[in-house]
Amino acid sequence: MIDINLIRNNRELVKENIKKKFQDHKLKLVDEIYEEDKRAKDLKQQIDSLRFNRNTLSDKIGALMREGNKQEAENIKNQVKNTNQKIEELENEYNNLEESIKEKMMVIPNIMADDVPIGKDDSENVEREQFLKQTEYPYEVPYHVEIMEKIGGIDIDSARKTSGQGFYYLTGDLARLHSACLSYARDFMIDHGFTYVIPPFMIRSDVVKGVMSFEEMDAMMYKIEGEDLYLIGTSEHSMIGRFADTILDEKEMPLLLTSYSPCFRKEKGAHGIEERGTYRVHQFEKQEMIVICKPEESKMWYDKLWRLTVDMFVSLEIPVRTLECCSGDLADLKYKSVDVEAWSPRQKKYFEVGSCSNLTDAQARRLGIRIKTEKGNIFAHTLNNTMLASPRMLIAFVENHLNQDGSINIPPVLQKYMGGKTKIEVKK
């Protein structure tokens, strides 16, 4: 949620930002908020004036009663009663306006960074940099599910029977590899000064509305029937929600947190063969990174966060690139975002394995997260970054470490998490 002063003082900036995001249907909301805010301020002045007059009249009643002037006292009591009725009417109108303004403000997108590329959707995202040489093989790379089945690591057919489309069983060494990668990502972050956290995996609706837009919530979240609870789509949700209505000490900034959680998503829509298997699933596990910091530090932390993901994938010997998200692909709360994509030797292209976002104070305003400074309380800036999401990253792993016989090499940094194994052999 943006600062309403931007609408009060610079409506054109807000409208131009909406146009760059190709959300012209929201332009009228800016003027509606502006007019409703003016009316609300006028009502507030009227209410304050009426309260002052009422209090002045009320002070006279006691004196008139002591003087024995009961008739005049009764007249003033009637005036006070009428004033109270008028105040109540105006307060109801004021509260309705405030609620309307809040609902509309929640829909207005965050102001984007000046250097965000302008584009309608993810097809217009812009490549920034590649890391490691792209893996090439003199032989055809099989579909990732075939590779996993060959090492006895996955059972999708049984998962369809128990749970439906978009689920899987990981077994044997592949299941161990999945856990090893998450453990390595956890330790990688701890070694870089982040505090490890395991958060709640369900959150209430007020937290959901605080951390994401309504459109995202409807497209992603699973609601627990009969409960005011949602399954998290990423641990960022409950991690940021932890600090709702909190005033943090400036001396404690920044908060550097890395969290593990299972994640649950609807993943609506039909997808091609490459996005079946373990690419788009309803359940996965993730190591996330969260930073809460002072406004002047968020740009620095944004660059540090995505670089940490790149460094970790490079240490796993998986080629990656960074892709700047264009305006039309940027979620409403985001100021700036970059995707980290891994190389697929089978598809001869990159695919998303993580995303880093700076939300400036958009989440903090929704949730009431402030920092106490010498100059007063200010809204914090929040950032999040995917360190590793599995089993999607397993696609990149098995393809980039594949041997011709179907076995999978284990890079040195992971071997201690795999009991010293240097290779996952084909199941006979």
Q: What is the pLDDT along the chain (428 residues), one digit of tens a residue?
A: 899 999 999 999 999 999 999 999 999 999 999 999 999 999 999 999 998 888 888 777 767 777 777 777 778 888 888 888 999 999 999 999 999 999 999 999 999 999 999 999 999 999 999 999 999 999 999 999 999 999 999 999 999 999 988 899 999 999 999 999 999 999 999 999 999 999 999 999 889 888 887 677 777 889 999 999 999 999 999 999 999 999 999 999 999 999 999 999 887 554 444 456 788 889 999 999 999 999 999 999 999 999 999 999 999 999 999 999 999 999 999 999 999 999 999 999 999 999 999 999 999 999 999 999 999 999 999 999 999 999 999 999 999 999 999 999 999 999 999 999 999 999 97
CA distance 404 to 297: 47
pLDDT at position 214 is: 66
Q: What is the DSSP string of 276-294?
A: TTTTS-SEEEEEEEEEEE-
71-92 burial, b at 16+ Cβ within 10 Å, e below that, comes to eebeebeebbeebeeebeebee
CATH superfamily of 122-424: Bira Bifunctional Protein; Domain 2 (3.30.930.10)
What is the distance between the alpha carbons of residues 330 and 293, in angstroms, rounded to a whole number?
21
Exposed / middle / buried, residue 287 (Cβ in 10 Å: 0-12, 13-18, 19+): buried
CATH 3.30.930.10 residue ranges of the chain are: 122-424
DSSP secondary structure code for residue 165 in this structure: T
Enumerate long-range contacts of 161-164, CB under 8 Å, 24 or more apart.
163/282
Q: What does CATH list as the number for 4-105?
A: 1.10.287.40
Task: Report the length, in residues, of the chain.
Answer: 428
Domain with CATH 1.10.287.40 in the chain: 4-105
Task: Give me 229's structure tokens.
Answer: 């609870």
Question: How many CB atoms within 10 Å of residue 203?
Answer: 23
The amino acid occupying position 367 is L
pTM across the whole model? 0.88
